[in-house]
Amino acid sequence: MIPPVATIADVAREAGVSIATVSRVLSPGRDPHPVSPATAQRVRQAARRLDYVPSALARGLASHRSGLLGFVVPNLADPHYPLIARGAEDLARSHGLSLLICNTLGDSGRLAEYLRVLRGRQVDALVVSGGGSLSPDDLLALARTGLPGVLIGRPAGATLDRPAGMIAWPWVSVDNRAAAGAATRHLLGGHGPPGSPPRRVAHLAGPAAQTTMTDRAAGYRDAMLQAGLPAEVVATDGSAEDGERAARALLRRPPDQRPDAIFAATDRLAIGALGVAIDLGLPVPDALALVGFDDLALGAHLRPSLSTVAQPAEELGAAALRLALARLAGEAVTPLVLPARLVVRASSANS
Amino acid sequence: MIPPVATIADVAREAGVSIATVSRVLSPGRDPHPVSPATAQRVRQAARRLDYVPSALARGLASHRSGLLGFVVPNLADPHYPLIARGAEDLARSHGLSLLICNTLGDSGRLAEYLRVLRGRQVDALVVSGGGSLSPDDLLALARTGLPGVLIGRPAGATLDRPAGMIAWPWVSVDNRAAAGAATRHLLGGHGPPGSPPRRVAHLAGPAAQTTMTDRAAGYRDAMLQAGLPAEVVATDGSAEDGERAARALLRRPPDQRPDAIFAATDRLAIGALGVAIDLGLPVPDALALVGFDDLALGAHLRPSLSTVAQPAEELGAAALRLALARLAGEAVTPLVLPARLVVRASSANS
DNA sequence: CTGAAAGCGCTTACAG
DNA sequence: CTGAAAGCGCTTACAG
Region class of B96: left (phi > 0), else alpha (psi between -120 and 50), else beta: left
A216 three-state secondary structure = helix
- Say if A342 is an interface residue toward chain B (CB within 8 Å): no
Residue B3 banded pLDDT, cuts 50, 70, 90: very low
Q: Does residue A1 surpass a pLDDT of 50? A: no
A198, A184 Cβ separation under 8 angstroms: no
**DSSP states of A294-311:** S--GGGGGSSSPPBEEE-
- Say if A275 is an interface residue toward chain B (CB within 8 Å): yes
The 10s digit of each residue's pLDDT in A41-51 is 999 999 999 99
Q: Residue A80: in which H helix or E strand, if any? A: helix A80-94
Strand B308-310 relative to strand B341-343, pairing? antiparallel
Count of pairs with CB atoms under 8 A, one residue in A, one in B: 145
Q: Which residue of B has its CA nearest to A277?
A: B303
The 10s digit of each residue's pLDDT in A80-126 is 999 999 999 999 999 999 999 999 999 999 999 999 999 999 999 99
Cα separation, B286 vs A211, in Å, equals: 45
Which nucleotide lies at the shortest CA–C1' distance from B29? Answer: C11
A46, A18 Cβ separation under 8 angstroms: no
- Say if B264 is an interface residue toward chain A (CB within 8 Å): no
Residues B131-136 have a mean pLDDT of: 95
Cα separation, B111 vs A75, in Å, equals: 25
Q: Give the DSSP letter of residue A162.
A: B
Greater confidence, B184 or B35?
B184
Q: What are residue A69's DSSP bridge partners?
A: A99, A125
Q: Residue B218: in which H helix or E strand, if any? A: helix B211-226
Q: Does residue B1 surpass a pLDDT of 50? A: no
A294, A306 Cβ separation under 8 angstroms: no
Nearest residue (Cα to C1') for D9?
Answer: A58
CA of B34 to C1' of D2 (A): 10
Closest CA to B260 of B344, B190, B343: B190
User: What per-residue confidence (pLDDT) applies to B70?
Assistant: 97
Say which amino acid occupies A141. A
Say which amino acid occupies A72. V
CA of A7 to C1' of D9 (A): 7
User: What per-residue confidence (pLDDT) applies to B239?
Assistant: 96
User: What per-residue confidence (pLDDT) applies to A168?
Assistant: 81
User: How many Cα atoms are found within 13 Å in the side-chain-facing hemisphere of B207?
Assistant: 11
Cα separation, A268 vs A174, in Å, equals: 19
The 10s digit of each residue's pLDDT in B311-334 is 999 999 999 999 999 998 889 899
Where helices occur in B280-330 by DSSP H, the ranges are 313-328
Closest CA to A347 of A256, A280, A274: A274
**DSSP states of A228-252:** T----EEE--SSHHHHHHHHHHHHT
Say which amino acid occupies B182. A
Closest CA to B85 of A188, A34, A102: A102
User: With a CB-CB cutoff of 8 Å, which residues 74-93 of chain A face chain B?
Assistant: 76-77, 79, 82-83, 85-86, 89, 93
Q: Does residue A28 surpass a pLDDT of 90? A: no
- Say if B248 is an interface residue toward chain A (CB within 8 Å): no
B20: exposed, middle or buried (C-beta count within 10 Å: 0-12, 13-18, 19+)?
Answer: exposed
Residue B6 banded pLDDT, cuts 50, 70, 90: very high
Say which amino acid occupies A254. P
The 10s digit of each residue's pLDDT in B79-130 is 899 999 999 999 999 999 999 999 999 999 999 999 999 999 999 999 999 9
Q: Which residues of A touch B244 (CB under 8 A)?
A: 301
User: What per-residue confidence (pLDDT) applies to A98?
Assistant: 95
Q: How far is A16 from chain B (nearest CA, A)?
A: 23
Q: Does residue B138 surpass a pLDDT of 80? A: yes
Query: What is the distance, to the nearest Å, from the Cα of residue B114 to the centroid of all Cα atoms in its chain?
Result: 19
Q: Which residues of B touch A298 (CB under 8 A)?
A: 240, 268, 271, 296, 298
User: What per-residue confidence (pLDDT) applies to B179?
Assistant: 98
Say which amino acid occupies A322. R
Residues A241-256 have a mean pLDDT of: 96
User: What per-residue confidence (pLDDT) applies to A198?
Assistant: 81
Which nucleotide lies at the shortest CA–C1' distance from B38? Answer: D1
Cα separation, A7 vs A16, in Å, equals: 14
The mean predicted confidence, pLDDT, of chain A is 93
Q: Does residue B30 surpass a pLDDT of 80? A: no
User: How many Cα atoms are found within 13 Å in the side-chain-facing hemisphere of B116?
Assistant: 14
- Say if A95 is an interface residue toward chain B (CB within 8 Å): no
Which nucleotide lies at the shortest CA–C1' distance from A61? Answer: C8
Region class of B321: left (phi > 0), else alpha (psi between -120 and 50), else beta: alpha
Q: Does residue A22 surpass a pLDDT of 50? A: yes
Q: What are residue A264's DSSP bridge partners?
A: A204
Closest CA to B68 of B28, B125, B143: B125
The mean predicted confidence, pLDDT, of chain B is 93
Q: What are residue B125's DSSP bridge partners?
A: B69
Q: Does residue A351 surpass a pLDDT of 90? A: no
Cα separation, A77 vs B87, in Å, equals: 11
Residue A3 banded pLDDT, cuts 50, 70, 90: very low
The 10s digit of each residue's pLDDT in A300-321 is 999 999 999 999 999 999 999 9
A263: exposed, middle or buried (C-beta count within 10 Å: 0-12, 13-18, 19+)?
Answer: buried
A240-251 and A267-279 helices cross at what angle (nearest 10)?
Answer: 50
Torsion sign, CA atoms A259, A260, A262, A267: positive
For residue A53, what are the contacts with CB-CB under 8 A and spacing of at least 6? Answer: A5, B116, B119, B120
Q: Does residue B196 surpass a pLDDT of 80? A: no
Q: How far is A299 from chain B (nearest CA, A)?
A: 10
Query: What is the distance, to the nearest Å, from the Cα of residue B161 to the centroid of all Cα atoms in its chain?
Result: 21
Where helices occur in B156-279 by DSSP H, the ranges are 176-189, 211-226, 240-251, 267-279
Residue A4 banded pLDDT, cuts 50, 70, 90: low
Cα separation, A239 vs B108, in Å, equals: 37
Question: What's the full length of chain A, in residues?
Answer: 351
Cα separation, B307 vs B270, in Å, equals: 9
Residue A202 banded pLDDT, cuts 50, 70, 90: very high
Q: Residue B99: in which H helix or E strand, if any? A: strand B98-103
User: What per-residue confidence (pLDDT) applies to B350?
Assistant: 79
User: What per-residue confidence (pLDDT) applies to A184?
Assistant: 98
Question: Is-cis flag, bond preceding A304, omega within 30?
Answer: yes
Q: Does residue A195 surpass a pLDDT of 70? A: no
- Say if A58 is an interface residue toward chain B (CB within 8 Å): yes
- Say if B245 is an interface residue toward chain A (CB within 8 Å): no
User: What per-residue confidence (pLDDT) applies to A97?
Assistant: 95
Q: Does residue A2 surpass a pLDDT of 50? A: no
User: What per-residue confidence (pLDDT) applies to A196?
Assistant: 75
User: What per-residue confidence (pLDDT) applies to B34?
Assistant: 85
Torsion sign, CA atoms A339, A344, A345, A348: positive
List the nucleotides on chain D closer than 7 A to a protein CB: 1-5, 7-13
**Protein-nucleic contacts, chain A 44-73 to strand C, CB < 7 Å:** 58, 61-62
Q: Does residue B4 surpass a pLDDT of 60? A: no
Residues A228-234 have a mean pLDDT of: 97
Torsion sign, CA atoms A304, A309, A312, A313: negative
Closest CA to B292 of B272, B280, B306, B305: B306
User: What per-residue confidence (pLDDT) applies to B198?
Assistant: 81
The 10s digit of each residue's pLDDT in B247-286 is 999 999 999 999 999 999 999 999 999 999 999 999 999 9
Which nucleotide lies at the shortest CA–C1' distance from B62? Answer: D8
Cα separation, A212 vs A214, in Å, equals: 6
Q: How far is CA A65 from CA A68, A328, B67, B97, in A?
A: 8, 10, 18, 20
Say which amino acid occupies A98. S
Q: Does residue B153 surpass a pLDDT of 70? A: yes
